[in-house]
Amino acid sequence: MDIEDMDFLQAMADELRAIDSLYEAEATEIENIIFRVKLEQGEN
């Protein structure tokens, strides 16, 4: 996963939150995926 993919996923998470607070769990899960990928790639 490259930086463009992670930026896209972060934008999706932000949009989910903007749509409705019901999507908070999904947005958080997307951010957790981004975090795990960054850890695997040695980024913080």
Q: Give the per-residue pLDDT at 44.
A: 57
Question: Mean pLDDT in runs of 10 for the chain (44 residues)?
Answer: 93 93 92 95 78
Q: Range of 33's domain?
A: 3-40
| Residues in CB range of 40: below 8 A, 6 or more apart | none
Overall number of domains in the chain: 1
Give pTM, 2 decimals: 0.77
Do the Cβ atoms of 34 and 41 come closer than 8 Å? no
Q: Give the per-residue pLDDT at 15.
A: 94
